A and B are shown apart, each in its own frame.
Chain A
Amino acid sequence: DQQVKQNSPSLSVQEGRISILNCDYTNSMFDYFLWYKKYPAEGPTFLISISSIKDKNEDGRFTVFLNKSAKHLSLHIVPSQPGDSAVYFCAASVPNFGNEKLTFGTGTRLTIIP
Chain B
Amino acid sequence: DVQLVESGGGLVKPGESLRLSCAASGFTFRGYAMNWVRQAPGKGLEWVSSISNTATSIDYADSVKGRFIISRDNADNSLTLLMNNLRVEDTAVYYCARVERFETAYYGMDVWGQGTTVTVSS
- Please say whether chains A and B are actual partners in one complex: no
